[in-house]
Amino acid sequence: MEKPIVHGNLKTSNILLDASFECRISDYGLYLLLNTGGAHEMLEASAAQGYKAPELVKMRDATRESDVYSLGVVLLEMLAQKEPAGGDDRAPSSRDIFLPASFKNLVLERKISDAFNSDLVRQSRKSGNERKLNAFFELATACCSPSPSLRPNTKEILRRLEEIAK
């Protein structure tokens, strides 16, 4: 069995679309091959941008589960049409609101529709795809679970995305 690939720096700028709109993941740590001391820099940059899984705060190595968290942030970006942490490269402060926390607060306040891009909500209502939008949101938030063991694995994510696409 092949060892799974851990990206460690998954974010929207590392996801490319080909001519058929199929995703291609880029930047598989080439920087780290050239700069072996760069792991700390890379994790700090991903934290500032809002993609870093909570368990990586303790500077643990990236895992499949931390990549799933980052994917969840990307999915939330698609729903909100917002960058996960304001889009600048400064270090995050305690006042920063990251997308997963922002969505959680809106769910608790029963204002979840405020989190979605209004055009996206309007289109899903017109086309009768509100159920799909909600399923996509549920998947994104599951990926962003604070506990790595509660996040879906990649096979489950793929299965759920295929189900949503039907």
Under 8 Å between Cβ of 56 and 47: yes
Integer angstrom CA distances of residue 58 from 32, 61, 95: 19, 9, 20
- Phi/psi for 15 (5° steps) reads -115, 115
pLDDT at residue 96, as a whole number: 40
Under 8 Å between Cβ of 15 and 78: no
pLDDT tens for 37-81 read: 555 555 555 544 577 787 877 767 788 999 999 999 999 888 887
Task: Give the single-character DSSP code of 133.
Answer: H
* Domain boundaries, given as residue ranges, for the chain: 12-165
For the ranges 94-108, 130-144, 148-162, which has the lowest average pLDDT? 94-108
What confidence tier does 20 reach under pLDDT thresholds 50, 70, 90? Answer: very high
Burial letters for 123-157: b for 16+ Cβ neighbours within 10 Å, e otherwise? ebeeeeeeeebeebbebbbbbbbeebeebbeeeeb
Q: Which CATH architecture has domain 12-165?
A: Orthogonal Bundle (1.10)
Across residues 25-39, what is the average pLDDT? Answer: 61
Q: Is the pLDDT of residue 92 over 50?
A: no
